Structure formats: structure tokens, C-alpha cells
Amino acid sequence: MTETVFFVDDDPNILSGFQRMLRSRFRVETANVPASALEKIAHHPDLAVVVSDYRMPGMNGVEFLAQVARLRPDSVRILLTGEADTKAAGAAVNQGQIFRFLLKPCPAMILEKNLVSAIEHFRLKKGEQELLERTLRGSMEMLMDLLTLANPQAFSQSLSIYSTIKTLARTLQLTNQWEFEIAGLLSMIGCISVPASVLEKKRLGLELREAEQGLYASHGALASRFLSRIPRLEFVSAVIAAQNGSLPPLPSWQTPDQMDRLALGAHLLDLSIRWEAFRNKRLPVALLIQDLQALGYPAALLRAAEQLPGSEPVQEPCRVAGSDVAAGMKIAEDVLTENGLLLIAKGQVLSETVAECLRRRYEEFGCQELLLVEAK
């Protein structure tokens, strides 16, 4: 078994016994104080199983495993208890906090059998979640490709925001990173109702008139209404809805795993949008950090922002035929229709789907125009 099993018991001798008995079959880690165990678990993203004694000073096993469930919701939790505490253990199982409880002393064969079952359950849950995440992310990316063709200015920006928030979420080692990533990917979906001229002014950092500002500010709420109808996107919807309002507070002393997820998501999206504006002006990360410090951003998020890649070096663009464009090419000037309408915005990196649509358009209509691109 390559997954880790974490034992928590206030008796060091019992923990040593677990190590000797199980180390040949499992990766075993231990702690004899619940508080220190929680600190280790918070920094252990791939934890599979947590086994806790019930009677421990300061925090019983049910209370401890309830906190583990908040820190590592994908982990499988097992409670070891004496006969006198079976009622409390049974209630915890019924509430869904605990996978199974075992009576002490627990024979080695029974413990091993239950650990194998717990790891198989963990693998099943993880596999289902990964499948769901890939399906949902693929669906969202397909939707983004379609919407890119409908409103290229907005969705070129959203792809950049998505890339930034993805980097931040991975740097912070957040659980369920896909939720934060999709919030970035779909953050500008409400801009489908915002005129391209307003989006361009916003991108360039120009001052918007009052009516334009109100129109732009409404795009988060519109996107939230779209997405609230889709199962499993409730969190994504709430994060996007918060992007144009005041940010929920985040205590500076908390680690990312201790922070309220909605507040954290709103901060990460706000940070990503701000970085997009800084990159458009080719400003360094250091200036962004100064702004974030003035806004009271927590230290953990500031450290993550410091890891953001700087502005990409300017590449010499070249002209290619529309029928020869490929995924990964970056559009170096706006691509317009024959009527002067924006088709693909400058700065957009072509996905395979959008590149295919462009190739077909140029091949079917016999367009001879050469596109200015930067090859990746």
C-alpha cells in the first residue's frame, strides 16, 4: 500500500506497536497529541486513512476526526474505542464523520483487514472525484472555446485569469483545486452582456463612465446566476459573485487550510484579476505585492503571489496563413471579420478547438489574409 495511514493515540507504546505491526504493509505515521496531529495532517495533502483513539486528553477521538474531516475531507476516518464508548462512536458513524469504529484491543488481522477496506474506499472516492473533475473541467473548457468565438475580448482575459489562479492554488496546495480553477476559467462569463468597447477600456485601465462601470460591475452577478443552475458549481458561483464587491475578511495568521473557502476563493480570484491588469501594463510582481499588502492580504497569499511568473519575454511575431494556425499560437493583433467585427482578440493563446475553427473559416471562404502570431 503506497497510501499513508496516520495513527493518533496519547500512548506512545501503542503507537510503537502499530508501527512494528503494520510497517511491512502500510506507510505509517503517528502522533500522540491531537493538536500536533492536526498540524501534520494540514500539510499532508495525500493522506488516505486516519485512525484515532477515542479517549485522549483535551480532545476526544470524535472531535478530532471531525476536524480531520474539515482539513482532509477525502480521508477515510476510523475510531478505536473501548466498549464503554460504543454509543458515542456509533453516533459519529451515523453522522457520516467516521467510516468505521473498532473495539480495543483490536486484533492485528482485523485491523489490517479494515485498513485495506479503508484504502480501497479512499481510492474509489478519489477515482470518482478525479473523473468528475476531468469531465467538468473538459465541459467548461469546451464552453469557453465556444464563448471565446462569441466574445473574444472577455474570454481571452478569463484564460489568463484561469492560468494565474491555477498556479496560486497549486502553490498553496489547496484541496479541491479544480473549484478554484473553474472559478477563474468562468470568471468573465457574465461579460457576454458587456459591450466590447467597455471591456477594452477596462483592459487598458481607462476610467469608465458611471453607466459603463455599473454595466461592468454586474457581470459577476450575471455569471453567478448562470452557474448556480449547474450541480457541483455552487462554490464556483459564489466565488464569481463576490468578485466585484468588498472582499470577505481573511485573518492574517491563518494558513490556507484554516481559511474560509469562499473568502479564500474571492481573494484568489481578485488577486488573479489584479495580476492580469499588471501584466497587461508589463509591471513587475513586486508592485503587485505592494498593492496586496496595502489591501491587507494574508502573508500566505503574498508568498504565493511572489511565485507568479513575470511578464513573458516579447517574441518577434510572424505572419502565417489562416489555414496554418495551430494550438498554442498567440495572436499578436486583433483578428477581424470582413465587417470589422472582432473575431479573436490580441493576446489570446489558441486552443485546439479555436485553432480548428479558424482553419476551417479560412479554408472554406478562401481568405488570403495572413495572421500575425507568436509561436509558442
**Model pLDDT for residues 3-33, shown as the tens digit of each residue:** 889 999 999 999 999 989 898 889 899 999 9
> Domain span at residue 201?
151-311
Q: Give dist(CA 188, CA 370) in Å, integer.
A: 29
What percent of the chain is modeled with pLDDT above 70?
Answer: 90
Q: Which residue has the cell 499588502?
A: 293
30 and 106 together in one domain: yes
Question: Looking at the predicted structure, is the pLDDT value of residue 179 above 50?
Answer: yes
pLDDT value of position 112: 92
Q: What CATH number does residue 74 fall under?
A: 3.40.50.2300
283 and 323 together in one domain: no
Lowest mean pLDDT across 40-54, 140-154, 170-184, 250-264: 140-154
What percent of the chain is modeled with pLDDT above 90?
Answer: 22
pLDDT value of position 357: 80
Question: Looking at the predicted structure, is the pLDDT value of residue 301 above 90?
Answer: yes
80 and 110 together in one domain: yes
Residue 271: pLDDT band (50, 70, 90) is very high
Q: Domain boundary at 267, 293, 311, which? A: 311
Q: In sequence order, what are the beta bridge partners of 342?
A: 336
Helix H or strand E segment including 116: helix 108-150
207 and 120 together in one domain: no
Q: Give dist(CA 152, CA 188) in Å, integer.
A: 11
Question: Looking at the predicted structure, is the pLDDT value of residue 121 above 80?
Answer: yes
51 and 36 together in one domain: yes
Under a CB-based contact definition with an 8 Å cutoff, are residues 147 and 192 in contact? Answer: yes
307 and 318 together in one domain: no
Grid cell locating 49: 486513512
Residues 6 or more apart whose CB falls under 8 angstroms from that of 291 comprise 274
Cis peptide before 231 (omega within 30 of 0): no
pTM of the model: 0.57
pLDDT value of position 310: 63
Give me the number of domains the chain comprises. Answer: 3
203 and 284 together in one domain: yes
Q: Which residue has the cell 476536524?
A: 67
352 and 231 together in one domain: no
Does residue 145 lie in a domain region?
no
Question: Looking at the predicted structure, is the pLDDT value of residue 303 above 80?
Answer: yes
Q: Give dist(CA 75, CA 118) in Å, integer.
A: 9
Helix H or strand E segment including 36: helix 34-42
The rounded mean pLDDT for the chain is 83
Does residue 137 lie in a domain region?
no
Question: Looking at the predicted structure, is the pLDDT value of residue 132 above 50?
Answer: yes
46 and 157 together in one domain: no
